[in-house]
Homo-oligomer: A and B are copies of this chain.
Amino acid sequence: MRIGFIGLGIMGRPMAGHLLRAGFPLTVWNRTPGKTDELIRAGARAAKSPAALAAESDVVMTIVTDGPDVEEVLFAPRGVVEGFAESGRLSRRGGQAGAGERGVDGAGRPVVIDLSTVSPRTARRIATRLAQDGLDFLDAPVTGGDVGAQNATLTIMVGGEAAVFERCRGPLSAMGRKIVHVGPNGAGQMVKACNQILCAVNMIAVCESLSLARRTGLDVNAMLDVVTSGAGGSWALEHLGRKIVAGDLRPAFMVRLIQKDLRAVMEAAEEARLPLPGTALAIQLFRAVEAGGGDALGTQAMIQAYERMAGES
Protein backbone atom coordinates (compact mmCIF):
# COMPACT_ATOMS: atom_id res chain seq x y z
CA MET A 1 0.00 0.00 0.00
CA ARG A 2 1.78 3.13 -1.27
CA ILE A 3 1.16 6.17 0.88
CA GLY A 4 1.31 9.86 0.02
CA PHE A 5 1.63 12.20 2.99
CA ILE A 6 0.82 15.91 2.84
CA GLY A 7 1.61 18.25 5.74
CA LEU A 8 4.90 17.86 7.60
CA GLY A 9 4.41 20.11 10.60
CA ILE A 10 4.93 19.31 14.29
CA MET A 11 2.40 16.47 14.03
CA GLY A 12 2.82 15.30 10.44
CA ARG A 13 6.56 14.86 10.33
CA PRO A 14 6.86 12.23 13.10
CA MET A 15 3.65 10.53 11.91
CA ALA A 16 5.07 10.15 8.40
CA GLY A 17 8.26 8.80 9.93
CA HIS A 18 6.32 6.00 11.62
CA LEU A 19 4.75 5.01 8.28
CA LEU A 20 8.19 4.79 6.72
CA ARG A 21 9.58 2.69 9.57
CA ALA A 22 6.54 0.40 9.33
CA GLY A 23 7.59 -0.36 5.74
CA PHE A 24 5.04 1.62 3.71
CA PRO A 25 6.46 3.12 0.47
CA LEU A 26 6.09 6.85 1.19
CA THR A 27 5.88 9.98 -0.96
CA VAL A 28 5.71 13.34 0.80
CA TRP A 29 4.76 16.87 -0.08
CA ASN A 30 4.76 20.04 1.97
CA ARG A 31 3.95 23.65 1.14
CA THR A 32 7.33 24.63 2.65
CA PRO A 33 9.73 22.30 0.75
CA GLY A 34 12.57 22.24 3.34
CA LYS A 35 10.45 20.20 5.73
CA THR A 36 10.75 17.10 3.53
CA ASP A 37 14.56 16.78 3.83
CA GLU A 38 14.69 14.61 6.94
CA LEU A 39 12.13 12.14 5.57
CA ILE A 40 13.87 11.94 2.20
CA ARG A 41 17.11 11.02 3.95
CA ALA A 42 15.13 8.28 5.75
CA GLY A 43 13.86 6.83 2.46
CA ALA A 44 10.79 8.83 1.40
CA ARG A 45 10.33 10.27 -2.10
CA ALA A 46 9.42 13.92 -2.54
CA ALA A 47 6.67 14.91 -4.99
CA LYS A 48 6.55 18.21 -6.87
CA SER A 49 2.84 18.75 -6.23
CA PRO A 50 -0.08 17.04 -4.47
CA ALA A 51 -1.11 15.79 -7.94
CA ALA A 52 2.29 14.16 -8.53
CA LEU A 53 2.10 12.65 -5.05
CA ALA A 54 -1.36 11.18 -5.72
CA ALA A 55 -0.20 9.70 -9.02
CA GLU A 56 2.12 7.36 -7.15
CA SER A 57 -0.03 6.64 -4.07
CA ASP A 58 -2.86 4.26 -3.13
CA VAL A 59 -3.72 6.21 0.03
CA VAL A 60 -3.20 9.95 0.45
CA MET A 61 -3.07 11.34 3.99
CA THR A 62 -3.38 15.04 4.80
CA ILE A 63 -2.64 16.81 8.07
CA VAL A 64 -2.78 20.56 7.57
CA THR A 65 -4.17 23.44 9.61
CA ASP A 66 -7.82 23.90 8.71
CA GLY A 67 -10.64 22.99 6.32
CA PRO A 68 -9.68 25.40 3.50
CA ASP A 69 -6.12 24.01 3.53
CA VAL A 70 -7.42 20.45 3.16
CA GLU A 71 -9.75 21.43 0.32
CA GLU A 72 -6.97 23.26 -1.47
CA VAL A 73 -4.52 20.34 -1.53
CA LEU A 74 -7.33 18.01 -2.65
CA PHE A 75 -9.32 20.05 -5.16
CA ALA A 76 -7.13 22.90 -6.46
CA PRO A 77 -5.25 22.64 -9.80
CA ARG A 78 -2.31 20.22 -9.35
CA GLY A 79 -4.18 18.85 -6.32
CA VAL A 80 -4.70 15.27 -5.21
CA VAL A 81 -7.88 14.64 -7.24
CA GLU A 82 -6.23 15.85 -10.45
CA GLY A 83 -3.33 13.49 -9.77
CA PHE A 84 -5.57 10.47 -9.28
CA ALA A 85 -7.50 11.43 -12.45
CA GLU A 86 -4.31 11.66 -14.54
CA SER A 87 -3.22 8.23 -13.36
CA GLY A 88 -6.52 6.84 -14.72
CA ARG A 89 -7.84 5.54 -11.44
CA LEU A 90 -11.01 7.66 -11.11
CA SER A 91 -14.48 6.56 -12.15
CA ARG A 92 -16.36 9.84 -11.92
CA ARG A 93 -19.76 8.25 -11.34
CA GLY A 94 -20.20 8.27 -7.55
CA GLY A 95 -19.05 5.98 -4.79
CA GLN A 96 -21.07 2.83 -5.34
CA ALA A 97 -20.33 2.49 -9.05
CA GLY A 98 -16.65 2.95 -8.42
CA ALA A 99 -16.61 0.33 -5.70
CA GLY A 100 -18.44 -2.11 -7.98
CA GLU A 101 -15.91 -1.73 -10.75
CA ARG A 102 -13.03 -2.65 -8.52
CA GLY A 103 -14.54 -5.54 -6.54
CA VAL A 104 -17.05 -5.85 -3.71
CA ASP A 105 -14.76 -4.41 -1.03
CA GLY A 106 -13.45 -1.59 -3.19
CA ALA A 107 -9.88 -2.92 -2.78
CA GLY A 108 -7.45 -0.98 -4.94
CA ARG A 109 -9.67 2.08 -5.07
CA PRO A 110 -7.82 5.21 -3.94
CA VAL A 111 -8.51 6.56 -0.44
CA VAL A 112 -8.01 10.01 1.05
CA ILE A 113 -7.54 10.15 4.83
CA ASP A 114 -7.67 13.60 6.43
CA LEU A 115 -5.95 13.64 9.82
CA SER A 116 -6.48 17.39 10.35
CA THR A 117 -9.12 18.76 12.72
CA VAL A 118 -11.83 20.49 10.66
CA SER A 119 -15.55 20.94 11.22
CA PRO A 120 -17.83 17.91 10.79
CA ARG A 121 -19.66 19.79 8.03
CA THR A 122 -16.42 20.34 6.10
CA ALA A 123 -15.57 16.66 6.50
CA ARG A 124 -18.95 15.62 5.10
CA ARG A 125 -18.61 18.07 2.20
CA ILE A 126 -15.16 16.71 1.31
CA ALA A 127 -16.50 13.14 1.49
CA THR A 128 -19.33 14.00 -0.92
CA ARG A 129 -17.03 15.68 -3.44
CA LEU A 130 -14.52 12.83 -3.34
CA ALA A 131 -17.26 10.20 -3.71
CA GLN A 132 -18.42 11.98 -6.89
CA ASP A 133 -14.91 11.45 -8.23
CA GLY A 134 -14.94 7.80 -7.22
CA LEU A 135 -12.66 8.25 -4.22
CA ASP A 136 -13.14 6.92 -0.70
CA PHE A 137 -12.61 9.20 2.27
CA LEU A 138 -11.96 8.87 5.99
CA ASP A 139 -12.06 11.81 8.41
CA ALA A 140 -9.54 10.77 11.04
CA PRO A 141 -8.59 13.55 13.46
CA VAL A 142 -6.06 12.70 16.14
CA THR A 143 -5.51 13.55 19.78
CA GLY A 144 -2.45 13.08 21.93
CA GLY A 145 -0.34 16.08 20.95
CA ASP A 146 3.19 16.26 19.60
CA VAL A 147 4.34 13.70 22.16
CA GLY A 148 1.71 11.25 20.92
CA ALA A 149 2.80 11.87 17.33
CA GLN A 150 6.46 11.24 18.22
CA ASN A 151 5.76 8.07 20.22
CA ALA A 152 3.01 6.70 17.94
CA THR A 153 0.61 6.79 20.90
CA LEU A 154 -2.03 8.98 19.26
CA THR A 155 -5.73 8.28 19.52
CA ILE A 156 -7.31 8.41 16.04
CA MET A 157 -11.09 8.73 15.75
CA VAL A 158 -12.26 7.68 12.32
CA GLY A 159 -15.42 8.51 10.38
CA GLY A 160 -16.27 6.72 7.11
CA GLU A 161 -17.40 3.39 5.68
CA ALA A 162 -16.43 0.40 7.81
CA ALA A 163 -14.86 -1.44 4.85
CA VAL A 164 -12.68 1.54 3.99
CA PHE A 165 -11.64 1.83 7.65
CA GLU A 166 -10.64 -1.85 7.70
CA ARG A 167 -8.57 -1.46 4.53
CA CYS A 168 -6.68 1.45 6.12
CA ARG A 169 -6.27 0.05 9.63
CA GLY A 170 -2.65 -0.94 8.94
CA PRO A 171 -1.16 2.48 8.21
CA LEU A 172 -3.36 4.16 10.86
CA SER A 173 -2.13 1.67 13.46
CA ALA A 174 1.46 2.57 12.61
CA MET A 175 0.83 6.12 13.88
CA GLY A 176 -1.33 5.61 16.97
CA ARG A 177 -2.26 3.32 19.81
CA LYS A 178 -6.04 3.66 19.89
CA ILE A 179 -7.66 3.61 16.44
CA VAL A 180 -11.46 3.68 16.67
CA HIS A 181 -14.09 3.65 13.94
CA VAL A 182 -16.83 5.88 15.37
CA GLY A 183 -19.37 6.16 12.52
CA PRO A 184 -19.92 7.51 9.00
CA ASN A 185 -18.05 10.45 7.44
CA GLY A 186 -18.10 13.45 9.78
CA ALA A 187 -18.36 11.29 12.92
CA GLY A 188 -14.61 11.32 13.48
CA GLN A 189 -14.64 15.13 13.49
CA MET A 190 -17.73 15.18 15.71
CA VAL A 191 -16.01 13.00 18.33
CA LYS A 192 -13.01 15.31 18.12
CA ALA A 193 -15.37 18.25 18.69
CA CYS A 194 -16.69 16.53 21.84
CA ASN A 195 -13.11 16.01 22.97
CA GLN A 196 -12.22 19.68 22.45
CA ILE A 197 -15.28 20.79 24.46
CA LEU A 198 -13.98 18.70 27.34
CA CYS A 199 -10.44 20.09 27.05
CA ALA A 200 -11.65 23.68 26.91
CA VAL A 201 -14.21 23.54 29.72
CA ASN A 202 -12.07 21.40 32.01
CA MET A 203 -9.49 24.18 31.69
CA ILE A 204 -12.02 26.66 33.11
CA ALA A 205 -12.37 24.35 36.12
CA VAL A 206 -8.60 24.16 36.57
CA CYS A 207 -8.12 27.93 36.31
CA GLU A 208 -10.95 28.81 38.71
CA SER A 209 -9.85 26.36 41.39
CA LEU A 210 -6.21 27.45 41.12
CA SER A 211 -7.20 31.13 41.14
CA LEU A 212 -9.20 30.71 44.34
CA ALA A 213 -6.39 28.75 45.95
CA ARG A 214 -3.68 31.28 45.06
CA ARG A 215 -5.80 34.31 45.86
CA THR A 216 -6.64 33.02 49.34
CA GLY A 217 -3.08 32.03 50.15
CA LEU A 218 -3.54 28.26 50.08
CA ASP A 219 -0.57 25.99 49.48
CA VAL A 220 -1.51 25.24 45.85
CA ASN A 221 0.62 22.13 45.67
CA ALA A 222 -1.11 20.68 48.73
CA MET A 223 -4.44 21.57 47.13
CA LEU A 224 -3.51 19.87 43.84
CA ASP A 225 -2.25 16.83 45.70
CA VAL A 226 -5.56 16.43 47.53
CA VAL A 227 -8.01 17.10 44.72
CA THR A 228 -6.28 15.49 41.73
CA SER A 229 -6.98 11.93 42.82
CA GLY A 230 -10.62 12.56 43.76
CA ALA A 231 -13.95 13.43 42.17
CA GLY A 232 -12.53 16.75 40.92
CA GLY A 233 -9.70 15.08 39.04
CA SER A 234 -9.03 15.45 35.31
CA TRP A 235 -6.24 15.04 32.79
CA ALA A 236 -6.18 18.85 32.51
CA LEU A 237 -5.73 19.29 36.26
CA GLU A 238 -3.02 16.68 36.51
CA HIS A 239 -0.97 17.79 33.51
CA LEU A 240 -1.74 21.46 32.95
CA GLY A 241 -2.57 22.50 36.54
CA ARG A 242 1.01 21.62 37.52
CA LYS A 243 2.34 23.71 34.61
CA ILE A 244 0.30 26.72 35.71
CA VAL A 245 1.68 26.43 39.25
CA ALA A 246 5.20 26.23 37.81
CA GLY A 247 4.53 29.31 35.62
CA ASP A 248 5.12 27.21 32.49
CA LEU A 249 2.82 28.42 29.70
CA ARG A 250 4.77 26.86 26.82
CA PRO A 251 2.47 25.18 24.32
CA ALA A 252 1.66 21.51 24.24
CA PHE A 253 -1.43 22.70 22.37
CA MET A 254 -1.64 26.34 21.30
CA VAL A 255 -4.41 28.77 22.21
CA ARG A 256 -4.90 29.72 18.55
CA LEU A 257 -5.33 26.06 17.58
CA ILE A 258 -7.91 25.27 20.25
CA GLN A 259 -9.75 28.43 19.17
CA LYS A 260 -9.83 27.10 15.60
CA ASP A 261 -11.19 23.78 16.89
CA LEU A 262 -13.78 25.52 19.08
CA ARG A 263 -15.03 27.43 16.03
CA ALA A 264 -15.69 24.02 14.44
CA VAL A 265 -17.49 22.96 17.64
CA MET A 266 -19.69 26.04 17.55
CA GLU A 267 -20.46 25.55 13.86
CA ALA A 268 -21.60 21.97 14.61
CA ALA A 269 -23.60 23.15 17.63
CA GLU A 270 -25.27 25.89 15.61
CA GLU A 271 -26.28 23.39 12.93
CA ALA A 272 -27.68 21.17 15.69
CA ARG A 273 -29.42 24.17 17.37
CA LEU A 274 -27.68 23.30 20.61
CA PRO A 275 -26.71 25.95 23.20
CA LEU A 276 -23.23 25.40 24.67
CA PRO A 277 -22.75 28.19 27.23
CA GLY A 278 -19.69 26.66 28.89
CA THR A 279 -17.83 26.26 25.60
CA ALA A 280 -18.84 29.80 24.65
CA LEU A 281 -17.31 31.04 27.90
CA ALA A 282 -14.09 29.13 27.21
CA ILE A 283 -13.85 30.80 23.80
CA GLN A 284 -14.20 34.24 25.40
CA LEU A 285 -11.56 33.47 28.03
CA PHE A 286 -9.13 32.22 25.37
CA ARG A 287 -9.94 35.38 23.40
CA ALA A 288 -8.82 37.44 26.38
CA VAL A 289 -5.53 35.52 26.26
CA GLU A 290 -5.25 36.26 22.52
CA ALA A 291 -6.01 39.92 23.21
CA GLY A 292 -2.97 39.94 25.47
CA GLY A 293 -0.78 38.47 22.74
CA GLY A 294 -0.88 34.87 23.99
CA ASP A 295 -1.99 33.16 20.74
CA ALA A 296 1.02 30.88 20.65
CA LEU A 297 1.01 29.95 24.34
CA GLY A 298 -0.42 26.65 25.57
CA THR A 299 -4.10 26.32 26.51
CA GLN A 300 -3.13 26.55 30.20
CA ALA A 301 -2.50 30.26 29.47
CA MET A 302 -6.24 30.66 30.13
CA ILE A 303 -4.98 31.44 33.65
CA GLN A 304 -3.89 34.84 32.26
CA ALA A 305 -7.54 35.74 31.65
CA TYR A 306 -8.24 35.06 35.32
CA GLU A 307 -5.19 36.97 36.49
CA ARG A 308 -6.31 39.96 34.46
CA MET A 309 -9.91 39.75 35.65
CA ALA A 310 -8.61 39.67 39.22
CA GLY A 311 -6.36 42.68 38.63
CA GLU A 312 -3.22 40.62 39.17
CA SER A 313 -1.43 41.47 35.93
- Contact stretch, chosen from A10-18, A45-53, A161-169, A225-233: A225-233
Assembled-state Cα–Cα distance A207/B276 (Å): 9
CB distance from A138 to the nearest CB of B (A): 15
Q: Are A212 and B278 in contact (CB under 8 A)?
A: no
Q: Are A215 and B145 in contact (CB under 8 A)?
A: no
Does A173 make an interface contact (CB < 8 A)?
no
The A contact surface, by secondary structure, is helix
Asked, given contacts A212-B193, A232-B235, whether A273 binds B310 with beta carbons under 8 Å apart, the answer is yes
Q: Collect the chain B residues with CB atoms within 8 Å of residue A201's CB.
A: 201-202, 204-205, 208, 278
Give the residue name and chain of the B residue nearest to A220 (CB).
Answer: B194
Give the residue name and chain of the B residue nearest to A232 (CB).
Answer: B198
Q: Are A155 and B226 in contact (CB under 8 A)?
A: yes
Does A150 make an interface contact (CB < 8 A)?
no
Q: Collect the chain B residues with CB atoms within 8 Å of residue A85's CB.
A: none
- Contact stretch, chosen from A72-80, A178-186, A242-250: A178-186
For this complex, 13 residue pairs linking A to B, each with C-beta atoms less than 8 Å apart, are A182-B226, A187-B218, A190-B212, A194-B210, A195-B230, A195-B232, A198-B205, A205-B205, A215-B274, A216-B272, A231-B239, A234-B235, A234-B236
Q: Which 9 A-B pairs have the closest CB atoms?
A: A198-B232, A201-B205, A234-B234, A204-B278, A194-B209, A195-B232, A215-B272, A197-B209, A233-B235
